[in-house]
Amino acid sequence: MSDILQTIFSPACLFTGYAIALPIQILYDGLLAYIIPPKSKRAYWVIVIAVAMVLILFRPLYPTEIRGMLGIFQSIVLPICLMTGSVPKRVIVCSLAMVLMAVAELTGAVIWVSSTGLEMMNDQLALTYAPLTIFMGLVGYGLVMTPAMIVMGKVVHRFFPDAKKDRRGRRASGTASPVWMRRLALSPLMQVPLIFIVLGICFSVTRGETAFVVASTAILLLCTAIDALLFLQMRRSAERQRAEIKAALLE
């Protein structure tokens, strides 16, 4: 029991958990709340922060596979349950947001490997290279993920506005969505396990070899291009549906 407590409360784990991971998670959840308003802001922040603090506290005890599953739960499943709007819209936004988080992690990993020459990174090394770890977070999550999610939010707000409020002033949380949107929602959702499997192979199996980093980057760029086409198709489908409704009303 004492060994477990020493592991959990070691300076290295506390540094990577609460000085690095927690602010990043709060930034991510805040950007999600900007894109799709939560059902209750107070409940949203209480739940996401409490879950983040608990998961971060026991993070050193989890195997790598369990960490990945909990990450998907924390960054996709939980926000989907707490947000407003149609389910496909929430799935698309949360899935694409986690893809952008993977891009930020890849950016940080490239900075780490190129700066230290070390193939792996753990809590102790993160504390040893604390300035570099903070710099990686600022670049990856501040200069890559944040602008990308803000742009995604503007696209969502432009073409998929928030649900209208009912007579009591409450937002509709389960509004119906067209069939094409439900089908397209599967595309970004399938990208999440693919990208994290690729990144896991790149930095856990091949130890960050240049060829595999380039291949992982190419896959991320391909997924980004697919997502851009996804939004374009969603825009065209939405415009076509509005035109059909307008034509039906004119008739």
Query: Per residue in 80-97, pLDDT tens?
Result: 999 988 888 888 888 888
Distance CA 246, CA 193 (A): 40
- Residue 48 and residue 82 in contact, taking contact as beta carbons nearer than 8 Å: yes
- Residue 111 and residue 135 in contact, taking contact as beta carbons nearer than 8 Å: yes
Residue 228 lies in a domain: yes
Which residues lie closer than 8 Å to 210 by C-beta, 6 or more apart? Answer: none
pLDDT at 41: 93
pLDDT at 174: 44
Distance CA 114, CA 118 (A): 8
Residue 107 lies in a domain: yes
Residue 167 lies in a domain: no
Task: Write down the pTM of the prediction.
Answer: 0.77
pLDDT at 95: 85
Phi, psi for residue 171 in degrees, rounded to 5: -80, 145
Confidence of residue 157 (pLDDT cuts 50, 70, 90): confident
pLDDT at 132: 93
Confidence of residue 44 (pLDDT cuts 50, 70, 90): very high
Q: Where are the alpha helices (DSSP H) in the chain?
A: 2-8, 11-14, 22-35, 41-57, 64-72, 78-82, 87-116, 123-128, 130-137, 146-159, 179-184, 186-200, 210-250
Residue 18 lies in a domain: yes
Across residues 110-137, what is the average pLDDT?
A: 86
Using CB atoms within 10 Å of the CB of residue 124, give its burial: 0 to 12 exposed, 13 to 18 middle, 19+ buried.
Answer: middle
Which structural domain, as residue segments, surrounds residue 246? Answer: 2-161+172-250
24 C-beta neighbours (distance < 10 Å), count? 18
Greater model confidence, 165 or 4:
4
pLDDT in tens, 239-248: 777 777 777 7
Residue 166 lies in a domain: no
**Mean pLDDT rounded to a whole number for the chain:** 80
pLDDT at 162: 56
pLDDT at 22: 93
Q: What distances in angstroms separate CA 5 from CA 59, 61, 62, 70, one per listed residue?
A: 12, 10, 14, 21
Across residues 114-137, what is the average pLDDT?
A: 87
pLDDT at 167: 44
Domain count, the chain: 1
Closest CA to 123 of 4, 21, 5, 1: 21
